[in-house]
Copies of this chain bind each other. A is one copy, B any other.
């Protein structure tokens, strides 16, 4: 009795990424830090690819400075970041030297726990990151991208976990990005990992609330021995986000499980974000309920809206149902990749092409790369005929090595490119920012001196700047606003995502 359940609070990263299109500015997070630092959470998730991207793309904020501020304001907490293995925070494979530099700099600037995943669950894409984290003495968490398919059995996932432990991981995360993890598989999976890897390997479950079942899955995971779960304060929870921290604490009463989380601190954090959230309502996810369709379609909501706009651009908006029926076939042909970034976009776009132009008449370069192994290995067998088409299309060989093995050292080149940019301060952090987002970094370096902007809007005190007009959703013009925050006027320009 009285077994301790640890909690990771997501408000500062995945919660606003899922609910507010990652737009929350640092100034709106700072007031919550002291309470979070004393909340008793096992870790505070606060950094990752999308928040890094949003910092330089929308908020004119240095993501490294954001991390250093978190570190300073939460000296008692483990800070956790999400890392896409060999992709780091970007969308391509980086050469090992860049991976090692990135991890070292992230650790130096404040990260304690690196949650490392690969979209295809190819553990070879995790190895360098794990080694780099261990080399700087930090916590390496190997993360399973949870999905459902004929080849994704409990046994297969347990094997993955065992490989990650063998590679030196300190803990294992079951990362359920889409709310697909049901109670019984949650139980079986945690039980399986614990019995295979030993009770002293921490098991951490991360689930989204989208389908409405995952708080029950947390309960069953805890009964199976899960050590840590991820939640977000209620004012930053539910819908495409996560289960509420307060609900987790309350549900455990008298169950024999308890948390060390200080509910009063968490309620203060909740009140803070409840006050802040309406300023971002322009970015607020429209969906706030529960949707169980994904259990059947296995197609995440974000992927459906992507495909819809692709179809509309081709004046084929009426063919969505055909595309939705095509996705599972494309996924099967590709060896059942989990449908997460980037595999969801790759399979989705290929499905659109298949419907509009005939099955595999045209292959996207990315889909060909996926079929040929350039993203890594999939758990399922690929369709040999489609692989052959990819060979013909891409005029590249099939590879079965780790994709990054084909890369040459690139640090010096990235460094000289970055240093040539106006406003680059010459630090390794700046080189890494450029390496992650080479299209966005140049503009950011140039404007960085103007300081962070906050794209939230105080309800009721927004007024149009001279010459500004009401923002049309379809407009490609940046729109200027004068926003009054806490009595101070800020000139804000909102530009569409590149």
User: What residues of chain A have their CB less than 8 Å away from a CB belonging to chain B?
Assistant: 182-185, 211-213, 215-217, 219-220, 234-235, 237-238, 243-244, 246-247, 249-251, 253-255, 267, 288-293, 295
Contacts and interface: CB of A to CB of B under 8 A. Distances in A.
Contact of A292 (B212, B216, B247, B293): B247
A252 to B, nearest CB: 8
Contact of A247 (B213, B244, B246, B250): B213
B246 A290 contact: yes
B182 A246 contact: no
B183 A290 contact: no
Contacts of A292: 234, 244, 246-247, 249-250
Contacts of A234: 212, 289-292
B215 A213 contact: yes
Instruction: Tell me how many chains of this kind the complex includes.
Output: 2
A246 B295 CA distance: 11
A274 B184 CA distance: 29
A290 B245 CA distance: 10
Contacts of A185: 254
A183 B288 CA distance: 24
A414 to B, nearest CB: 44
A211 B250 CA distance: 9
A163 to B, nearest CB: 25
Given A212-B243, A289-B234, A290-B244, A295 B182 contact: no
B215 A182 contact: no
5 contacts: A182-B254, A183-B255, A184-B254, A212-B234, A235-B289
Contacts of A254: 182, 184-185
B251 A216 contact: yes
Contact of A212 (B183, B215, B255): B215
Contacts of A246: 212, 290, 292
Nearest to A209: B212
A295 B247 CA distance: 10
A274 B447 CA distance: 45
A437 B295 CA distance: 47
B247 A289 contact: no
A109 B334 CA distance: 59
A490 B414 CA distance: 68
A251 B183 CA distance: 6
Given A238-B238, A267-B293, 7 more contacts: A182-B250, A212-B246, A212-B250, A213-B250, A216-B219, A247-B292, A288-B289
Contacts of A238: 212, 238, 289-290
B184 A255 contact: yes
A39 to B, nearest CB: 15
A128 to B, nearest CB: 37
A288 B249 CA distance: 20
Nearest to A256: B184
Given A212-B244, A213-B251, A183 B237 contact: no
A357 to B, nearest CB: 31
A235 to B, nearest CB: 7
The 9 residue pairs across chains A and B that have the minimum distance between CB atoms: A212-B247, A213-B251, A184-B254, A246-B292, A244-B290, A234-B290, A184-B255, A216-B219, A212-B244
The CB with the most chain B CB atoms within 10 A, among A220, A244, A290, A293, is that of A290
A182 B252 CA distance: 8
B184 A237 contact: no
Contacts of A244: 212, 289-290, 292
Contacts of A251: 182-183, 212-213, 216-217
Contacts of A288: 288-289
Contacts of A235: 289
A288 B253 CA distance: 24
A281 to B, nearest CB: 13
Contacts of A253: 182, 184
Contacts of A267: 293
